[in-house]
A and B are shown apart, each in its own frame.
Chain A
Amino acid sequence: MRTSNRSALTVAALAAVVALVSGCGETGQGPQQSAKEGGKIICLMPKLVGIPYFEASKTGAEEAAKELKVELTYNGPTEGKAALQVEMIEQLIQRQCGAISVAANDPDALAPAMKKAKEAGIATGAWDADVKKDARDVFVNQATFEAVGKQLVDIMSKQTGEKGDFLVVTGSLTAPNQRAWLEEMKAHMADKYPDMKVAAVEPGEENLQKGIDVTRDYLKANPDTAGVFGITSVALPGAAEAVEQAGLDGKVKVTGLTTPNEMKDYIKKGTVEEFVLWNPVDLGYLAVHVAKAQLDKKLPKSGKFKAGRLGEVEVVKPDEVLLGPPIVFNKDNIGEYDF
C-alpha cells in the first residue's frame, strides 16, 4: 500500500513538472522550427530585457519585422551580463537563426561566440553597443560616443556659463559605453571648456534609490557643484530627483541620457532643461532592416541605405550604419515621444 501510494505520487509530481514546463513553453514566443517559406529568422538580442529602453527597441524591431514579413526573435538575458549573452548566442546558433544582431554588454567577451556564428554562415551584426570589429559584419550605430559626449557637455556649458565642477553619476563603473562617454566628455571639456571639470564619478549601480542617495550626499559635501550628469536611464532620473529633493533645482543643472517618459515631470518642472538620447524605437527598427538587407545580400558598403519609414540612412563606414544625430529633448518636443 505504501509503495503504490508513493508511485502514484511520483507520477503526479512528475506530471506536474511536465505540465508546468510544457505549459509555459507554449506561452513563449519563439519561432517554430518551420521558418516561413524562403524567410529566415532574424534574432535580435538586447543587452537585457525588462527595462523601458530595450522594450522600446523591441516595439521598433517588431514593427520592422511585420513590414518586411520576416520572423523575429527578440530575447536577451534578464540581467546585463556578457556571460549570459555568450550563452544565448551559442543557443541562437543552434536554433539556426539567419541573422544574429546583438547589443553587446562587452565588446570582447561576445567576440568568440559571434565569430562562431559567423563561421556557421550566419549574418552577424551589432546594434546599440558594438562587439569587436572582426566578430561582426556590420554595426548599427545610434550615435558615436564622441557625438554623445560632446552633446552632453555642450548642453551643460550653455546652462552653467561654460564653467564649474561637475558630478557624473554612472550606472556601472565597468560598463564600456559609459566609460567611453565619460572619456569623450572629459576630452571635450579639456578641449573647449577649460573651466569645466569632472570633479567626481559616483556609481549609481543602476538603482534609482542609490542614484538619489549618492547625488544628495555628494551635493551636500560639495555645495559648489555646478551640475550633474546622469549617463544612464536610471542615473538621470535619480540625479534629477535628488536635486529636486535637496531644493537645488535651478541652482544645480542636470542633464544626461535617458528615455523621455521617465523625464516628463522633471522637464515640466524645469529641474532638467534638456537631455539627450537617440530614438530606441527607430534603433530597433533599423537593426531589423539592416539584418534583413544582410540576409538578402543587399546591404551597401557606402552611401545611403533605405530603411522603410526612416528613409535614407547613412552608411558611414563599410561596416557601419548610423541612425542619425542624437535627439535633444526639451519642454517643446518631449510631448511628441512616447517610450
Chain B
Amino acid sequence: MSGVGALRSVGLRTAPTTRGLRRWLLRPEAPAAVFLVVLLAAFSLAADRFLTPDNLESILVQVAVLGIIALAVNQVILAGEIDISVGSMLGLCAVAVGTVATATGGLLAPLAAGVATGVLAGAVNGLLVTLGRIPSIIVTLGMLYALRGVILLVTGGTWITQIPDETRVLGLAKLAGVSLPVFVMFALFLIVNAVSRNSTWGRDVFAVGGNRRAARLAGLAIDRTRLLAFALVGAFVGIAATIYVGRAGSVQTNAGEGLELQVIAAVVIGGTSIAGGRGSALAPVIGAVLIGVILNGMILVGVPGVWQSAVLGALILLAVTTDALRRRLVGGAA
C-alpha cells in the first residue's frame, strides 16, 4: 500500500508544472508506474473486493520475496551483469534456514545461516565473474543447475517440516495490521535507494554498467563493484528465504524453481534497462508489485486457472509497450 502511496506522492509533487511532469515521465520507472495505476483502477472496477486495505496488504506480502530479491538483482543488472541463479539460491538458503531452525529454533540463527549461505553463493558467482572472467549469464546459469543439484544432494529429497513458530515470525507476524515482510521489503528498498544515490558504490554501479571502458579509464574499481553486487544478491536472497520459510512453514526441495525469470521480469518491467546503466532502485519494487497485482487481480476477477498465464503474459507485454509509448511521446533512451 505504501508503494502506491509513494507513487502518488511522487506524481503529486511533480504534477504542477508540465516541465516537472515531463521530467518525471523520463524517469525509468514512470511507464510501469502509470500502467500500475491504470491496472489498479481496472481491477477495482472489475472486482469490488480488490481495492480494500486488506487485499492491497496481502498483495504486498505476496510479492515481498520477489521484491526483495529483485531489489538486489536490479543492482547487478544496473552494473551490466545478470544473475539467473536466484531460484536455486533461494532454495538452498531456505534449506539452510530450515535446517538451522529445526535444530536450534529462534529467528536470528536461521536468518544468519540463510544470509551466510546466500552471501557465500553470491560471492562464488561474483568471483567467477570477476576473477574467472566468465560472462555472468554462464556463471549463474551453471550455478542455477549446480545449486539445485546441491539442494537435492543435501536434503536427499525430503522436505524440512515443522519449522518452529519463533522462526516464522519474519513471515507471519504483523505490526499495526501490516505484515512484517512488507516492512522488510520497504526498509530494504529505502536502504538500497539511499546507498544507490549517495554512496560511492551506488554511483559506481551505474558507471560500470553504463560504460565499462569509461569506468575503467576513470579508475573505478570495476571488479569490486560487481563482486559486491553479486554478494548483495546473496544476502538479500538469504533474508527473502527466511521470509519464504516463515510464510510457507516448510521447505520443499523445489522451492524457488522458476523464480529467476520472475525476478528478471520484475526488474525490467519496472523500467531498469537490461543492458545496464539505466534504471532505479524503485523500478524492481514497482515491477514486483505490478506482477503481484496481476496475479491477485486475476483470481479476484475470476479468470479461470487455465487462462491465467495468457493474461499475465498479455499484461506484461502491455506494460512494456507503455515504455515504448512513452518514448514516442516524450523521448528518452531505449
Contact = CB atoms under 8 A, between A and B. Distances in A.
Interface string B154-186: 011111011000000000100000000000000
Contacts of A63: none
B248 interface: yes
Given A202-B305, A203-B305, A221-B302, A52 B158 contact: yes
- Residue in A201, A208, A212 whose Cβ sees the most chain B Cβ within 10 Å: A208
Interface stretch (A261-269, A315-323, A326-334): A261-269
Interface in B117-151: 148
Interface string A216-245: 111011000000000000100110010001
Given A50-B152, A221-B49, A202 B299 contact: yes
Nearest to B158: A52
Nearest to B292: A213
A214 B62 CA distance: 10
- Residue in A205, A216, A221, A238 whose Cβ sees the most chain B Cβ within 10 Å: A221
A214 B294 CA distance: 12
A7 interface: no
B253 A50 contact: yes
Interface residues of B, number: 37
B255 interface: yes
Contact of A262 (B62, B247, B250): B250
Interface string A189-221: 000000000001111011111001110111011
Contacts, number: 91
A333 B239 CA distance: 38
A335 to B, nearest CB: 14
Given A220-B58, A221-B47, A241-B249, A50 B254 contact: yes
B248 A208 contact: yes
Contacts of A35: none
Chain A interface size band reads 35 or more
Interface in B5-45: none
A18 interface: no
The binding surface of chain A is classed by DSSP as helix
A49 interface: yes
A49 B149 CA distance: 11
A205 B306 CA distance: 12
B220 to A, nearest CB: 31
A54 interface: yes
B173 to A, nearest CB: 12
B152 A212 contact: no
A295 B249 CA distance: 45
B116 interface: no
A171 to B, nearest CB: 11
Contacts of A209: 65, 244, 247-248, 255
B321 interface: no
B248 A54 contact: no
Interface in B262-300: 295-296, 299-300
A55 interface: yes
A19 interface: no
Interface in B197-226: none
B179 to A, nearest CB: 10
Contacts of A217: 58, 295-296, 299-300
Contacts of B158: 52, 55
Contacts of B172: 245
Contacts of B302: 200, 221
- Residue in A54, A55, A217, A265 whose Cβ sees the most chain B Cβ within 10 Å: A217
A185 to B, nearest CB: 15
Contacts of A207: 252, 254-255, 257-258
A51 B58 contact: no
A173 interface: yes
Contacts of A208: 248, 250, 252, 255
Given A209-B244, A241-B248, A78 B148 contact: yes
B102 interface: no
B196 interface: no
Contacts of A245: 172, 247
A265 B162 contact: yes
A206 B254 CA distance: 8
Nearest to A234: B252
A245 B255 CA distance: 20
Contacts of B299: 202, 214, 217-218, 221
Nearest to A49: B157
A207 B254 CA distance: 7
Interface in B49-88: 49, 54-55, 58, 62, 65
B308 interface: yes
A62 B190 CA distance: 54
Nearest to A215: B299
A173 B306 contact: yes
A212 B158 CA distance: 20
A216 B58 contact: yes
A270 B58 CA distance: 24
B305 A173 contact: yes
- Residue in A201, A206, A209 whose Cβ sees the most chain B Cβ within 10 Å: A209
Contacts of B157: 49-52, 54-55
Contacts of A78: 148, 152
Interface in A166-184: 170, 173
Given A206-B254, A208-B255, A264-B162, A221 B300 contact: yes
A159 B161 CA distance: 27
Contacts of A170: 305
A50 B247 CA distance: 22
10 contacts: A51-B252, A201-B304, A208-B252, A209-B65, A209-B247, A209-B255, A217-B58, A220-B55, A245-B172, A265-B161
7 nearest A-B residue pairs (beta carbon)? A217-B299, A50-B157, A221-B300, A55-B157, A50-B152, A208-B248, A50-B253
Given A50-B254, A51-B253, A261-B161, 8 more contacts: A54-B157, A208-B255, A217-B299, A220-B55, A237-B249, A241-B249, A245-B247, A265-B162
